[in-house]
Every structure is written in structure tokens, then in C-alpha cells.
Amino acid sequence: MIPIRVLNDYFDGMLQKQPGFHSFLLVTTEADLGYRVKDLSEEQFPVLIVVVPGTDTIALGADNVITASTCLLYVMQKTDVTNLTQEEFLDTMATCQELLVDLIEQMVMDKFDRNGHCTLMTHLDVNRMHIDPEYNYYGCNGWSLSFTLQTPGF
């Protein structure tokens, strides 16, 4: 299980490392996400949204249990789709895509950072990452990324 403050601090720190993001939200549910996104001003986009993950256990033995947390994040831009041209759609998606690629590259770099600066991403399973496009999701377009963090259990 990932300590919630560690999760928050890591992704909040992305605003410093990835200046293309204008704000960060840590949410617990889809309803929470929708409620909080609608309150953001235009200047707070693009936004990095991280959903607090659920956790499963993997028992390798009676005294060797690890946890696998399936994480989900969004890179989103508020978009009015009623009069959206193809070019505007492509610009929004491309901007968010570039931010997501930069974010993934940073996460992978942090996984292999042996200086101890990032303990959270050392548990990143780079073989279990999935990206989906998001269209008109709570009035936003962008991308979602799901990934797994395997952490020592009990």
C-alpha cells in the first residue's frame, strides 16, 4: 500500500520538474474528480490528476507478501467540444500527449535513480503501463495512464 502523503508529494513535485503542468489534484473517486475539475479555472490547465490507488496483495509465501497498487493518472485540458475543430482537438491532444510522455520519462528516470531521491518510483513496474485517450471526460480532453507499483507488504 502506498502512503498517501508520499504519493501526493511525489506528483505535486512534478509541477516543479514538468513546468507544462499548471496544477495538480489528488482525488479519491471518479465523482471527486468530476467535482474538483469543474472548480478549476482556465489558468489551472493543463492539470495532472492522480487517483489514490487500490492495492492487491501477492503472496509469494507465508512470510513474503508484496502489494501491487494499480495507479491511474490523467493529463487533461479543459475543452469545449461543442465547436471544437479538428485542428483544435489535435493541438489539445498533442499538448497533453507531450506532457504525458515527459511525465513517463521522469517516472522511469526516478525508478532507476540510485541516489535515493525517489523511493516511490523504485517500485514502478515498467512492463505494466497502459495509456488511453480521454475525450470530453468531465469537460476535458487528454490522456490517462495506468501503471503498477509493487511495494513490500508484510
Q: Which of 154, 145, 152 is nearest to 126 (CA)?
A: 145
Check if the beta carbon of residue 115 is closer than 8 Å to that of residue 95: no
Check if the beta carbon of residue 51 is closer than 8 Å to that of residue 32: no
**φ, ψ at 44 (rounded to 5°):** -90, 5
3-state secondary structure labels for all residues of 8-41: HHHHHCHHHHCCCCCEEEEECCHHHHHHHHHCCC
Domain of 66 in residue numbering reads as 4-152
CB atoms closer than 10 angstroms to residue 20: 15
Total of domains in the chain: 1
CATH assignment of the domain containing 111: 3.30.2000
Which cell is 64 given? Answer: 513474503
Q: Which of 153, 129, 102, 123 is nearest to 6 (CA)?
A: 123
CB atoms closer than 10 angstroms to residue 154: 9
pLDDT in tens, the chain (154 residues): 889 999 999 999 999 889 999 999 999 998 999 999 999 999 999 999 999 999 998 887 778 888 889 999 999 999 999 989 999 999 999 999 999 999 999 999 999 887 766 788 989 999 989 999 999 999 999 999 999 998 876 5
CA distance 120 to 8: 11
CA distance 133 to 74: 10
Q: For the chain, count helices (H), then strands (E).
A: 4, 5
Whether the upstream peptide bond of residue 46 has omega within 30° of 0, thus cis, is: yes
